[in-house]
Chains A and B, each alone.
Chain A
Amino acid sequence: MSTSTSRRRAERKDRASVFAALGDETRLSLIAKLSNGSPQSISRLAEGSTLTRQAITKHLRVLEGARVVHSVRVGRESLFEFRPEPLRDLQSYLERVSNQWEHALARLKSFVEN
C-alpha cells in the first residue's frame, strides 16, 4: 500500500469523525462559542450551561479527537482553541463531490434534451 493511499484513507476516516463531531448539539454549540474568538477554559465554556464540567470535558475530548479543537496549557489551566482546518477540508471534499454531480447532471441534461 502506498503512502498516499494510507494518507487518503486516514483523511477519509478523519472526515467521518469531523462530521460525527458536528452532529451533536452540545458539541456544535461549543464550537460556535470557540469559533467566535480566543481560547477558553472549561469553566468559561460551562457558564450558562446546564451541563457539568465533566460532560463538557467529554465533548471537548471528542472535538479534540476530530482535531476541531486543541488544548493549550496555560499555567494550571487547559484552554481550548478552535481549529478551522478540518472544517475547511470537509468543505473542499463536499465541493469536489458536488462538482462531480454538477458535471454528471449537465451530461444527463444534454442526454435527455437531445
Chain B
Amino acid sequence: MSNSIEKRIELKAPVSRVWRALTDHREFGEWFRVKLDGPFVPGQVSRGRITYPGYEHVKWEATVQKMEPERLFSFTWHPYAIDPAIDYSSEPTTLVEFRLEPRDGGTVLLLTETGFDAIPQDRRFEAFRMNEGGWTEQMKNIQRHVDQHV
C-alpha cells in the first residue's frame, strides 16, 4: 500500500504535442472527458462539467498550480468527487502532477497524485521520511498481514 498514486506511460508523440493535450483546456477536455469553462491559468480555479457517460452530473473543479512549459503541469483537486450531494470543499485536496520528458522523439509521462493522507506537504516530509524507505517498508509488512487475513 502507498499513500500516493504513480503512473508512468510512454507516448509516441513529441513533448510539444503532449503538452498541448494536457494544458489546452479544450484538448484536455477531449481525453479527460470534461467540458471546461476556460483556459488553465496557474493559481486560478478551473471549472467545468464532466462529460463521461453516466457522470454528467459531476462538476469539475481544480486549482491550477504549476505550468512549466513542456515539463510540468499540476493542479490540486478533490479526487473521486463524484457525489453531487456532497460538499467536498472542506475536505483535503490532493496534488496531481504531470511530468514530461522527451525520449527518442516520443514522451515519457509521469503522473503522480499525492496528499491522500491530508497531511500538509511540509509536514508530510517529516512524517514519512523516517529511515530510508522506512514508511514503504513498514507498510509492506503491514500489507502482508492485511492480505493474509481476508
Binding site for B on A (CB under 8 A): 1-2, 5, 8-9, 12, 15-16, 19-20, 22-25, 28-29, 31-32, 35-36, 82, 84, 87-88, 90-91, 93-94, 96-98, 100-102, 104-105, 107-113
Interface residue SS majority, chain B: mixed
B79, CB-defined interface residue at 8 Å: yes
Return chain A residues, CB-CB under 8 Å to B45: none
How many chain B residues sit at the interface, stated as a range, is 35 or more
Contact between B11 and A113, CB atoms less than 8 A apart:
yes
B residues adjacent to A (C-beta < 8 A): 1-3, 5, 7, 9, 11-13, 17-18, 21-22, 27, 30-33, 79-80, 83, 85-86, 91-92, 109, 111, 113, 116-119, 124, 127-128, 130, 134-135, 138-139, 141-143, 145-146, 149-150
Interface residue SS majority, chain A? helix
Residues A2 and B118 in contact, CB atoms below 8 Å apart: no
A97 to B71, CA, bound (A): 24
A73 to chain B, nearest CB (A): 23
Determine the chain B residues whose CB is within 8 A of the CB of A100 once the complex forms. 80
